[in-house]
């Protein structure tokens, strides 16, 4: 799998998360289910991993979308490469 494909899948993963649902009741059901699964004899390391994952996901959800524009010029001044990645809203 190319890096581009992996990054594209990662970017779309956030939008498919049940925690991104606009309905607060649905989000609460998802969180309650996660809490129920966590209560089944887990280690402190597992709990810490879940907390860090949710924290990182929350930070990513509130960040604005990113787009990257790359312009490379040859020594003669002509454009050698132009690459745009991401959503250009």
Per-residue pLDDT of the chain (89 residues; tens, 9 = 90+): 456 677 777 666 655 677 777 788 888 888 888 888 777 766 788 878 888 888 888 887 788 878 888 899 999 989 998 888 876 55
DSSP assignment of 8-74: HHHHHHHHH-GGG-S-HHHHHHHHHHHHHHHTSS--HHHHHHHHHHHHHHHHHHHSPP-EEEEEEE-
pLDDT given at position 16 = 63
pTM exceeding the 0.95 threshold for the entire prediction: no
pLDDT given at position 73 = 92
């Amino acid at each position: 799998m190319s890096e581009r494909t992996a990054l594209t899948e990662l970017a779309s993963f956030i939008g498919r998360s049940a925690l991104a649902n606009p309905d607060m009741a649905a989000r609460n059901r998802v969180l309650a289910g996660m809490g129920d699964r966590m209560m089944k004899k887990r280690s402190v390391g597992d709990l810490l991993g879940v907390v860090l994952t949710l924290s990182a996901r929350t930070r990513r959800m509130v960040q604005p979308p990113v787009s990257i524009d790359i312009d490379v010029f040859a020594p003669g001044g002509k454009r050698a490469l132009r690459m745009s990645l991401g959503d250009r809203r």
